[in-house]
């Protein structure tokens, strides 16, 4: 029996993500919580004839939504409008994430917590530091969801190389994304040197990297003030959540290569080695992770050895910005003490 709770379930991401989760064979109970509309969304989904039971919870029913949850996914919070950075969302979303994570610690203390709310580079530190203060921090159970960057990296690489010859499916084993989830903290790593050489010149390579790093802006601009990526994010959020669920059910990943997650490095095996290989003491970072029973148990480090000079340069730039974002999240929690 596996219960998944979505917090922010009636939003632009929450609704399609909940639909995809309703289709997952790994879910037996799907609990949808939001400040508005969650019971309606849940009633709608409950008519779908898959095995899970779906129930909605209103504003004052957070405890019931969380009780017994094995996985809690958090897309609650405000999205960007054109001209805004993800960091501009911090003021509102940091408080939302801190409150929802505190409630999770109280009502679902062994749940894995998957943070989608932006800015992920800061909201994950907010989540972890909040749990530390409550004496309830289990590092392998808190994951920032950066899968949309991976989805974009595959799609845009295929676009850049010509999909006819280099199919989108094949890209899954040739590129991953590490670092963080905003602008230059997003660092695509083309792990296959042969594929990297197909990006014929530096201009084409730079254009590809830039498109992955600022892919979110493309959607924000195109939606003209109505929000940011919701459907592609729902798919990405589902892919990551299903990976956690697959691991809980002791099933192996079906796709090539482990997915990255934005995690607290010192808390997992390989974390300190990764810090040392990258020459940094940054505490929060996204990299491919290994899971066991739904918890992150190890972060991969092998990819560091094959980095190109351009990728090393990009990581240096990433770390400078990421450190500021992480400190901001930590300061927010400390200021509440
Ligand atoms: N990690 C990523 O890759 C990624 C990708 C896209 C969007 N996002 C982020 O996800 C968040 C949600 O985006 P969206 O497009 O779904 O926004 P949205 O406004 O459409 O939906 C957000 C939902 O959260 C709900 N909500 C707000 N405060 C809440 C609270 N305290 N408890 C429960 N629910 C609450 C709202 O009522 C709303 O239904 C944004 O912060 C956005 O920037 C992250
Ligand atoms: O761009 C945004 O604000 C939403 C999300 O982080 C994205 O990458 O699409």
Ligand nearest to the CA of 78: 1
Which ligand 1 atom is at minimum distance from the Cα of 228? 15
Domains of the chain are 3-144 (3.40.50.720), 147-337 (3.90.110.10)
- Which atom belonging to ligand 2 lies closest to the Cα atom of 120? 6
Give the chain's length: 337
Is there a contact between 125 and 330 (Cβ–Cβ < 8 Å)? yes
pLDDT at residue 100 in the model? 98
**CA-proximal residue: ligand 2, atom 1 (nearest):** 216
* Cα gap 309→61, rounded to integer Å: 52
pLDDT at 299: 98
**Residue 10 assigned to a binding site:** yes
Is residue 181 annotated as part of the catalytic site, yes or no? yes
Query: What is the H or E stretch that residue 26 is in?
Result: none
116 is in an annotated binding site: yes
- What is residue 57's predicted lDDT score, i.e. its pLDDT? 98
Q: Tell which phi-psi region holds residue 276, choosing left (phi > 0), alpha (psi between -120 and 50) or beta.
A: alpha
Which DSSP state fits 258? P
28 touches 2 (CB < 8 A): yes
Q: Contact 8/32 with Cβ under 8 angstroms?
A: no
Is 228 near ligand 2, meaning CB less than 6 Å away? Answer: yes
pLDDT in tens, the chain (337 residues): 999 999 999 999 999 999 999 999 999 999 999 999 999 999 999 999 999 999 999 999 999 999 999 999 999 999 999 999 999 999 999 999 999 999 999 999 999 999 999 999 999 999 999 999 999 999 999 999 999 999 999 999 888 887 655 566 666 678 899 999 999 999 999 887 777 777 768 888 899 999 999 999 999 999 999 999 999 999 999 999 999 999 999 998 877 789 999 999 999 999 999 999 999 999 999 999 999 999 999 999 999 998 999 999 999 999 999 999 999 999 999 998 7
- Which of the residues 165, 181, 210, 249 is marked catalytic? 181
Phi, psi of 260 (to 5 degrees): -80, 160
State the pLDDT at residue 173: 72
Output the pLDDT for position 170: 67
What's the helix, strand, coil split of the chain in %, to 5?
A: 50, 15, 35
ipTM of the complex: 0.99
Rounded to the nearest angstrom, the distance between the alpha carbon of 182 and the centre of ligand 2 is 8
Give the Cα separation of 274 and 5 in Å (integer). 32
Of 86, 90, 230, 286, the residue with max ligand 2 atoms within 8 A of its CB, to mutate for a pocket test, comes to 86
Q: What is the pLDDT of residues 313-335, one digit of tens each?
A: 999 999 999 999 999 999 999 99
Q: Return the pLDDT at 168.
A: 63
Residue of 39, 60, 73, 78 to mutate, ligand 1, most atoms within 8 A of C-beta: 78
Nearest bound ligand to the CA of residue 83? 2
What distance lies between CA 254 and its chain's CA centroid? 19
pLDDT for the residue numbered 192 = 79
Q: Whose CA is nearest to atom 2 of ligand 2?
A: 216
- The pocket around ligand 1, CB under 6 angstroms, is made up of 7-8, 10-14, 33-36, 75-80, 89, 93, 96, 100, 116-118, 120, 145, 148, 181, 227-230, 233
Q: Which atom of ligand 2 is nearest to the CA of 229?
A: 9
Model pTM score:
0.97
In 216-321, at which residue ranges do the beta strands (DSSP E only) sit?
260-264, 284-292, 295-299
Q: Could you read off the pLDDT of 89-122 as tens digits, one per residue? A: 999 999 999 999 999 999 999 999 999 999 999 9
């Amino acid at each position: 029996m596996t219960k998944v709770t979505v917090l922010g379930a009636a939003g632009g991401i929450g609704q399609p993500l909940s639909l995809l989760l309703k289709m997952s064979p790994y879910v037996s109970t799907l609990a949808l919580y939001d400040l508005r509309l969650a019971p309606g969304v849940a009633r709608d989904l409950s008519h779908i004839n898959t095995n899970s039971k779906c129930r909605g919870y209103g504003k004052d029913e957070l405890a019931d939504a969380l009780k017994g949850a094995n996985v809690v996914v958090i897309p609650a919070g405000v999205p960007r409008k054109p001209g805004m950075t993800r960091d501009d969302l911090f003021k509102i979303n940091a408080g939302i994430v801190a409150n929802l994570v505190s409630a999770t610690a109280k009502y679902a203390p062994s749940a894995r917590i998957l943070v989608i709310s932006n800015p992920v580079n800061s909201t994950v530190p907010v989540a972890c530091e909040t749990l530390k203060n409550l004496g309830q921090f289990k590092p392998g159970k808190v994951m920032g969801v950066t899968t949309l960057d991976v989805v974009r990296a595959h799609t845009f690489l295929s676009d850049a190389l010509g999909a006819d010859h280099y199919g989108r499916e094949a890209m899954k084993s040739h590129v991953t994304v590490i670092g963080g989830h905003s602008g230059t903290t997003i660092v695509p790593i083309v792990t296959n040197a042969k594929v990297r050489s197909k990006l014929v010149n530096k201009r084409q390579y730079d254009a590809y990297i830039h498109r992955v790093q600022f892919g979110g802006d493309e959607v924000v601009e195109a939606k003209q003030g109505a929000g940011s990526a919701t459907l592609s994010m729902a798919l990405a959020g589902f892919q990551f959540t299903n990976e956690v669920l697959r691991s809980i059910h002791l099933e192996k990943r079906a796709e090539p290569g482990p997915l990255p997650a934005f995690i607290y490095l010192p808390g997992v095996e390989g974390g300190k080695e990764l810090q040392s290989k990258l020459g940094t003491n940054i505490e929060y970072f996204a990299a491919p992770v290994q899971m066991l029973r739904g918890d992150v148990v190890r972060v991969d480090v092998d990819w560091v050895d094959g980095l190109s000079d351009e990728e090393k340069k990009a990581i240096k730039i990433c770390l400078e910005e990421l450190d500021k974002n992480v400190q901001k999240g930590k300061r927010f929690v400390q200021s509440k003490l």
